[in-house]
Amino acid sequence: MKKLQSPLTALLLAFAVVIGILSVAAPADAVVNTGTIIPSPSPTFSGNTLWSVSCVSSTWCISAGMSIYDNVFIKFDGGTASEVTNPNSETDAKVFGVSCVSDTQCIAVGFQNSDGTMATQILSFDGAAWTLVQSANFGSGDNSLISVSCASSTSCVAVGYYNSGTQPYSAASQTLAMTWDGANWKTVTPPNTGSGFNRLNSVSCTSSTSCVAVGFYNSGIEEYSNDSQTLAMTWDGANWTTVNPPNTGSGDNELNSVSCTSSTSCIAVGDYSDGSNLQTLALKWNGSSWTSIGAPAGTGDSSLRAVSCVSSNVCVAVGESLTESDLIPLMATWDGTNWTAFAAPTSPEGGGYSYGISCSSENSCLVAGQVGWPSQNLLIELTETDLPAVTTTTTSPEPLAPSFTG
């Protein structure tokens, strides 16, 4: 069975950059329905990838990622994208997550590689420049932060994983979390499920005492050594509590992204294996339990990489489908009941990978990813356009899953 590449294992992909606009009909409630590829700088010949994006308005967004050896930050002003200078690193540095509370305060997280070991990397942005912030590590092995969410200028939570082994695959990775109180970063070790591999891929906070983090775990010591299962937990400002969602089928289940608009309303997305292909996965959190909901279907191996919600009834999810001959972008809106797929801009050779999305309103989002060979940065602006009504594709929710309390 083919496996779509994860954010820590897929760095180079083969599809050409193209500038274009595709439109489809709007859902009943006015939301994004049109995608426009924004020309974006790519600092190096290859290895360019934007993993995440954070928008404070339709005219101010920061996307974060990497080139072959260093961090990359791209600012979007509503019309053009430009590179923002960041501290040069003498070691291999990569950024995976970014969160902004204003146009003068952002936090980005990832890792920096020194002497063959990955160490956590945290940077702050003041509206003009990025500054490297001292951060701690757990254990003697690799440490990496994958996602960060800031509820205010004095409250952020970052998540990822660490490994206590000094040699690759000598120990199973475990969940890692850090909190920011406006003055210091502190390491907080979340619970793990079982004794095998555990990793948190995404976190979303609506206040200093309400965050939800998601990822996956399995019974082995490697990322894909055994069938993975969904992992989720809540943060109340003092403690992490595991509230694992239901899984679909008996194969791999993984959550890649979560977006919350309140302590009782979150949407998480990812993928699961049906035995032959990966299929899209979507779950809803109501403050006490997770429910499996219908996800927009793809063709072949399909995955949802990221989701952004502006209310309990307005979310946008992005991902892709991988067939034998093509890579097809997958984008859809959630209205609280159904998903409605809409077309995404593609090149004649196929689509790109969409790794991050941030919506500042129901009719303005920015998608970040990569496209082309050698891989180049990809930004797609999503907006609302008035179009004639056409038939849209929706997927009805699946039956309610057993309730979990946390």
Mean pLDDT of 327-355: 87
Please report, for the domain that includes residue 58, its CATH number. 2.130.10.10
The number of folded domains in the chain is 1
Question: Which tens digit of pLDDT belongs to each residue from 227-249?
Answer: 899 999 999 999 999 999 999 98
Q: What is the pLDDT of residue 397?
A: 35
Does a structural domain hold residue 361?
A: yes
Q: Which bin fits 169, alpha (ψ -120 to 50), beta or left (φ > 0)?
A: left
Residue 376 CB: number of other CB atoms within 10 A? 23
Does a structural domain hold residue 221?
A: yes
Does a structural domain hold residue 394?
A: no
pLDDT at 15 over 90: no
Q: What is the pLDDT of residue 242?
A: 97
Instruction: Extract the tokens encoding 218.
Output: 């399995």
Query: How far is 301 from 299, CA to CA, in rounded Å?
Result: 6
Does a structural domain hold residue 388?
A: no
Q: Which residue range is the domain that position 267 belongs to?
A: 21-383
Residue 167 binned pLDDT confidence (cut-offs 50, 70, 90)? low
Question: Which tens digit of pLDDT belongs to each residue from 318-338?
Answer: 999 988 778 889 999 999 999
Kindly report the pTM of this predicted structure.
0.88
Mean pLDDT of 167-196: 90
Residue 44 binned pLDDT confidence (cut-offs 50, 70, 90)? confident
Write the DSSP symbol of residue 89.
Answer: -
**Minimal CA–CA distance to 346: which of 365, 360, 367?**
367
Does a structural domain hold residue 287?
A: yes
pLDDT at 96 over 80: yes
Mean pLDDT over the full length of the chain = 86
Q: What is the pLDDT of residue 386?
A: 72
**Minimal CA–CA distance to 396: which of 334, 345, 350, 331?**
334
Angle at 128 between CA 126 and CA 130, to 5 degrees: 65
Residue 295 CB: number of other CB atoms within 10 A? 27
Question: Which tens digit of pLDDT belongs to each residue from 101-144?
Answer: 999 999 999 999 877 889 999 999 999 999 999 999 988 889 99
